[in-house]
Structure 1
Amino acid sequence: MPVTNVTTDPEALTLTVEAEFPVSASRLWNAFADPRRLERFWGPPGYPATFGEYDLRPGGSARYRMTGPDGENHHAAWTFTTVDAPHSIEVVDSFTDADGKIDAGMPTNRTTMSFEETDGGSRLKVVSRFDSTADLEKLVAMGMVEGFREALSQLDVVLADLRDYALGKGTQVEVLDDQHVRITRAFEAPLHLIWRAHTEPELMKRWLLGPDGWKLTVCEVDNRPGGAYRYFWEPIDGGEGFGFDGETLVFEPERRIVTTERMTGADFPATTNDLSFAEEDGVTLLTLYITYADAVQRDAILATGMTDGMEASYARLEQELVTTG
């Protein structure tokens, strides 16, 4: 966890977050200066940001939305007041409606992001200044502290060289808490090929098979929000099969797919699967953020060997990519 300190000061009307990273301050700066990189961590897991306008200069502005796993959008805007590359960025941060109009009923704050060299790399310091104690308390009550912690916990991956960080390491599983697991897998292939492999049924039937000896006999996909999907696998040599079904909640081409998932006919609650795609230097990283009902369901599903089956499928996908070029 890169966050080292979070402090609220009601007298100074500030919220301060500090985090350290094993990279140069200029690399840290670039993660904030590039909106495509910023999108990968600005927003806690399950609520990634999408930046439209991003005019990084004094007087410039940025507009973004955070899209939850249910497809609901939360809109905000920055007005850049100071841009001192690669040392600091200061913005006026406001909640807005979908058209960019500032929501007068919500607090506005002035936030400074500074990037400092350290002996081991760099330090990020974020200081948000509020107009009143009530504004500070309101945003803290809304989860601003937890949001910062969860958002910045994703920055390590953005700052890392994906070839060193994830390529060749197979399917990696990280238990975040009782209800959440993050799974990552890297491929040496362009994003558009990995995206097609996850959205075109005929391609999915070639690799989404789990361990050897199974075939995907049903692959029905409706990628529109609100659309249903159904998968069913059967043993090649005959026997009892199994399947999953669910609903597509969010579908953002070549970026993100959020679905519900349940084993067909099972009586336990559906999980929410939030799958995102990111490419850097010819390496595409998949990140799957799974939400379970509770720790019991989480442990029961992980104990099935789910991730071993995922890795078998992903290894097969790698081979398909090599074969097809």
Structure 2
Amino acid sequence: MPVTSVETDTESLTMTLVADFPVGPERLWAVFTDPRQLERFWGPPGWPSTFDAFDFTPGGWAKYHMTSPTGERAGGAWEFVSIDPPRGFEVIDSFADDNGEPIEGMPSMHMVFTFEATPEGSRMTNVSSFASADALEQVVAMGAVEGSTLAMNQLDVVLQDLRAYAQGKGTQLEVLSDQHVRITRLIDGPRDLVWRAHTDPDLMRQWLLGPDGWRMTECEIGDTVGATYRTAWAPEPGTEGEAFGFDGEVLLIDAPRRVVQTEHMIGTDFPSTTNDLSFYEEDGVTLLTLLIEYPDAATRDMVLATGMIDGMEISYRRLEGVLVS
């Protein structure tokens, strides 16, 4: 993980985050000064950012909002104070309303980004200074340490060429916390087609099958927020296993970029999970990122022990064949 430390200092009224990366400072600079690349990591998993404005000049403003899995929005705004390419820049960072205007009464902070070369690549240091101990305490209580750590730890995939980072590695699992895991898979195909393959029942029946010897018996898709869905599978004759399925509710749709829905195993009293699936295209390939939120670590471990990652990889290989045809 890139983040090596996050420290708060109540005497100097600062929070300092340090992260190391295997790329040069110029690459870090490019990522932090391009709103489209910032959107891929500025915000913890499950709260991706959308930058609505980005005037990268002293005195200019960047305005953005983060969207939760249920569609809740949280806004932010940067006022650029100074810019020193490629060594760093500083901003006044504020909580913002729906119009991107700083919210009165909410703490703002003076934030300095510094990028410097290291023998292994580069180091990013982010120092946030607060006007009072109460402001620092308020931001920390809102989860700033955990949120910023999770956000910056998403930078690895952004900094590297997507094909070089993920192609040939199959379905990858990262355990982020007791309640969250992230699953990624690079699909050789454009995002529009990959999205369609996840939302067209006829196509889903061709690839979303898990191990060989299974068939999809139900495929009812929810295509609007609030709609329900239902999918089920059964073994072919001669294949061991018992039929199973899932149902749930669609929480958010942002076609063709993101879909969030709950998932519950039909016929059980198991708790539901929240599945947040995003699609990112680069150079003709699409990175699928599935963030799953479990109610607790025990449920997380029980589900992962079923071999779901192996089943997903078999399905994704089949999907690539469907896209080719």
TM range (shorter): over 0.9
2:22 aligns with 22
AA in 1 matched with 2:7: T
In the TM superposition, what is the alpha-carbon distance from 1:178 to its structure 2 partner? Answer: 2.0
2:46 aligns with 46
1:130 aligns with 130
SS in 2 for 1:112: strand
2:271 aligns with 269
AA in 1 matched with 2:212: D
1:77 aligns with 77
SS in 2 for 1:104: coil
What pairs up with 1:176-325 in 2 under 5 angstroms?
176-237=176-237, 241-323=243-325
- Distance in 1 between residues matched to 2:205 and 2:26, nearest whole Å: 44
- Distance in 2 between residues matched to 1:33 and 1:224, nearest whole Å: 35
In the TM superposition, what is the alpha-carbon distance from 1:126 to its structure 2 partner? Answer: 0.6
- Distance in 2 between residues matched to 1:247 and 1:24, nearest whole Å: 44
AA in 2 matched with 1:291: E
- Distance in 2 between residues matched to 1:10 and 1:48, nearest whole Å: 29
In the TM superposition, what is the alpha-carbon distance from 1:29 to its structure 2 partner? Answer: 1.1
In the TM superposition, what is the alpha-carbon distance from 1:319 to its structure 2 partner? Answer: 0.9
1:33 aligns with 33
In the TM superposition, what is the alpha-carbon distance from 1:166 to its structure 2 partner? Answer: 1.0
2:2 aligns with 2
AA in 1 matched with 2:318: R
Per-residue CA deviation, residues 257-294 of structure 1 (Å, 9 max, x unaligned), is: 11110111110100111111112222211111111112
- Distance in 1 between residues matched to 2:61 and 2:198, nearest whole Å: 35
1:160 aligns with 160
Corresponding residue pairs, total: 323
SS in 2 for 1:311: helix
- Distance in 2 between residues matched to 1:298 and 1:201, nearest whole Å: 28
SS in 1 for 2:71: coil
Structure 2, gaps ≥5 residues long: none
Report the TM-score, using the length of structure 1 for normalisation. 0.95
1:58 aligns with 58
Consecutive aligned runs of 4 or more in structure 1 exceeding 6 Å deviation: none
AA in 2 matched with 1:230: R
Question: Are 2:64 and 2:100, in contact at CA under 8 Å, matched by a contact in 1?
Answer: no
Report the TM-score, using the length of structure 2 for normalisation. 0.95
AA in 2 matched with 1:41: F
In the TM superposition, what is the alpha-carbon distance from 1:240 to its structure 2 partner? Answer: 5.0
In the TM superposition, what is the alpha-carbon distance from 1:90 to its structure 2 partner? Answer: 1.3
- Distance in 1 between residues matched to 2:85 and 2:190, nearest whole Å: 31
Structure 1, gaps ≥5 residues long: none
Question: Are 2:77 and 2:101, in contact at CA under 8 Å, matched by a contact in 1?
Answer: no
In the TM superposition, what is the alpha-carbon distance from 1:106 to its structure 2 partner? Answer: 0.7
- Distance in 2 between residues matched to 1:156 and 1:123, nearest whole Å: 13
SS in 1 for 2:170: coil
Residues 240 and 143 (structure 1), Cα distance of their counterparts in 2 relative to 1, 3 Å cut: closer
- Distance in 1 between residues matched to 2:60 and 2:81, nearest whole Å: 8
2:98 aligns with 98
- Distance in 1 between residues matched to 2:296 and 2:146, nearest whole Å: 19
- Distance in 1 between residues matched to 2:185 and 2:117, nearest whole Å: 31
Identity of aligned residues (%): 59
- Distance in 2 between residues matched to 1:80 and 1:192, nearest whole Å: 36
In the TM superposition, what is the alpha-carbon distance from 1:245 to its structure 2 partner? Answer: 0.5
SS in 1 for 2:41: coil
